Amino acid sequence: MNRPYDFKPKGSRNKMLWLILLLLATISSLIVFLTFYGLNTGNFVIGVDQEAYNKNISISKSPGSQDNQKTLFVETHPIYPFDFVVLNSSLDKFTGIDGVAHEFKRNTVAITFYIINELDNLAYDLNYYINLKEIRPKSLSLRHLKILVVVDDEKHLYHNPAYNLVDYPEDYDVRPFLEGNRIVEGKLKTLKAGGEKKITLIIWYEGRQILEEDSLEAVKMHLVIEIDEIGDAND
C-alpha cells in the first residue's frame, strides 16, 4: 500500500513563503543600511619602517611591554557617522584605553599604542605618515573622513577642508589631507633613550555632513613610523 502523500494546505505553504520573503527582505534592508551608513575600513596596519626597526624602535599596545613588535594589525569594522562634539568631549576616554577602543567601535576606528626606544644610548626624532592603500569607489575623495592623532598632548587633526563644516577648538592643529596616496605626514617630538611615546589614533566619519553619494564602501590605510634624526642619550 502506498504511503499517503504528506501535504500541507495551500494556505500554509503561502504563509511560509511569505515569511521567508519577509525575512530575506529584512536581511537585505539591513545590508543596505550598513553599506550606506557604515564605513568598512578593512584591516588598519600600524608599523615602524625597516630602518627604525633595525635601530630598536618598536611598537606595542601596552606601556612598559616586553612584547614589542614591528607591526600591529587593527581589526576594523563598519562604522556609523559620528559627531566631533561628542568625540571631543570623550577624548580623555579614548586616550585612556590601551589598544583598540572597543567602547567606541560603533562610530570609530580607534587605538592607543606605544612607540618604544629599546636603546639606552640614543634618542630619536620620528616622523609618521599614513598611506592610502585602497579606496572604493575610486571616484570619491576622502570628503568627510577625519583622522585624529594625539601625541604628547598635541592633537593633529587631518581632513578635507573643502567639505568641512566643523569649527575646531584652538588646541587642535588642523591640517588638510595631502594629494596622492600619502595623505598624512606628521612629526613626533624626541623619543628619549630607553623611553616610550604614547599615541592615540582615531578615524571617523563626520556625521553632520555625510550624504549618500559621499559614502565610501571601503578605505584601507597604513600608518608608518620612521626615523627623522638621531641624537645622543642626553637629547
- pLDDT tens digits for range 97-113: 999 999 998 888 899 99
Range 30-44 average pLDDT: 41
Residue scoring higher pLDDT (35 or 59): 59
Task: Please choose, from the candidates 73, 52, 62, 61, the residue with its C-alpha nearest in 3D space to the C-alpha of residue 118.
Answer: 52
The DSSP code for 69 is B
Q: Please check whether residue 59 is in contact with residue 48, taking contact to mean a CB–CB distance below 8 angstroms.
A: yes
Query: pTM of the entire structure?
Result: 0.78
Range 15-24 average pLDDT: 51
| Res 140 pLDDT > 80 | no
